[in-house]
Amino acid sequence: MNTVTLQGQWLAEEALAKYTSWRVGGPAERMYIPADKQDLTQFISGLARTEQVFWLGLGSNLLVRDGGIAGTVVNTRGKLKQMYLLEANHVYVESGVPCAHVARFCAEHGLVGAEFLAGIPGTMGGAIKMNAGAFGGETWQLIAGIDTISVGGELVQHASNEFIVAYRHVEGLHNDCVLSAVLRLKQGNSQAGQQKIKQLLLQRAETQPTNLPTCGSVFKNPEQDYAARLIDASGLKGYAIGGAQVSQKHANFIVNTGEATAQDIEQLINYVQQIVDEQQGVKLQTEVCIVGEASA
């Protein structure tokens, strides 16, 4: 691969714990931090098609096992962060922009409908990939179109109707990286939008363990029910394995109390699923993405 023209940063055996909101995870065999969208495009185009690539944003919906990730991790944290207004109530946003920033930007410009994004602790790229949601809103209800790049370096523009979108799931993205999106919103009252965001953030602080390392919600809500209710009803609030604990504040959160390993967290996830199934007759599905290799 020709790296002469690349402006980004290469790192070898980089510990991923500092890039994930749970603060756990083994090393990336190789990590590339692109300088910008153009640099990322050049980098991906130069990779062998057989190269294993993992895309990393804020690492907020992610459990990286203690053995780390083989191949190349492309870290867009703090990169791909352009955002600006387009005509007719549309906003262009690159995938590295934190969801909370998008919520505030839209409200400040008198565009409503994106306030719920303030409750998603990740970037737009990750939110689009999994159709993240909060406070009753879902990311894809805002999407007019997206730009992606494949591992082979192919740049493609997509309309939103090219994908099958469901609760916390998007079919058709494969391992492509979302570079940017166009959001479609409605005109509204800027002050009202900003006040709604403040209220949602206050609600989040009152009901979620925002002061400890978590990944956000661990499990998907079953149809017509809530994962937190099922976990609480199974007597699992406060249950711990190693340094991983089911939050006393919100049962669908697992917190790192300080010394957790990825193995502790994964074992606790499996235990919660087992007990809820036994006691409530419901098989909880994970919302968090679990990747990498277990330690030897």
Name the nearest CA neighbour of 255 among 240, 272, 270, 267.
Answer: 240
Nearest C-alpha neighbor of 197 from the set 260, 89, 107: 107
Residue with tokens 């209710």: 229
Burial class from Cβ neighbours inside 10 Å (0-12, 13-18, 19+) for residue 158 reads middle
What's the CA gap between 76 and 135, in Å, rounded? 26
Exposed / middle / buried, residue 222 (Cβ in 10 Å: 0-12, 13-18, 19+): middle
**Active site (catalytic) residues:** 168, 217, 287
Q: Give the C-alpha distances (Å, rounded to integers) separating 104 from 135, 209, 221.
A: 16, 22, 27
Residues 148, 177: contact at Cβ < 8 Å? yes
Residue pair 210/236 in contact (Cβ under 8 Å)? The answer is: no
